[in-house]
Amino acid sequence: MCIFCKIVNGEIPNNTVHESEHFLAFNDLYPKAPIHILIIPKIHVDCFQDVSAETMAGLTQFTQEVARKVGIDETGYRLITNNGNDGGQEVFHLHFHLLGGGKLKWDHSHEDVHRSI
């Protein structure tokens, strides 16, 4: 069983921010912003490339609820999913990083950037 499935099952403790029948939001163990929440479906899906449109519809609404709950729906936030090896995915249970609580930096994502201008 994957690490996030163990969190869903309560086998690994987590700091839950918000929960519904199908989704869970909890604080990232190594936060990269004042607010850094992981949002996951409770069912195991490896990555974004494998998720159904139906699950994403529910996850969209749930994510908006989380943003409202932690008070960043109006100040702004960043929502990221790393997909697969090149995307830098480390945990292969679909998750979205919800980052906010301050002005975020926008770093380059690859050394080898081809500029068109």
Give the interface with ligand 5GP as residue ranges (CB under 6 A).
Answer: 3, 12, 14, 26-30, 38, 82, 88-91
Q: Name the minimum Å distance from CB 45 to Zn ion.
A: 8
- Our CB check for Zn ion shows the closer of 51 and 104 to be 51
Q: Which of 18, 93, 95, 97 is an active site residue?
A: 95
User: Which residue(s) pair with 19 in the sheet?
Assistant: 24
CA 25 to chain centre: 8
Closest CA to 94 of 27, 42, 21, 37: 42
CB of 29 to ligand 5GP, least distance (A): 4
Partner that binds at residue 5, options Zn ion, ligand 5GP, none, CB closer than 5 to 8 Å by kind = Zn ion
114 annotated active-site: no
Q: How many whole angstroms separate alpha carbon 100 and alpha carbon 6?
A: 26
79 binds, among ligand 5GP, Zn ion, none (CB under 5 to 8 A by kind): none
The residues of the shown chain that bind Zn ion, judged by CB under 5 A, are: 2, 4-5, 44, 93
Q: If DSSP codes are grouped into helix, strand and coil, which group holds residue 117?
A: coil
- Amino acid code (one letter) for 110: H
Cβ 6 to Zn ion shortest distance, Å: 8
The answer to whether 25 touches 62, Cβ cutoff 8 Å, is yes
CA 66/CA 32 separation, integer angstroms:
18
Q: What residues are labeled active site?
A: 95
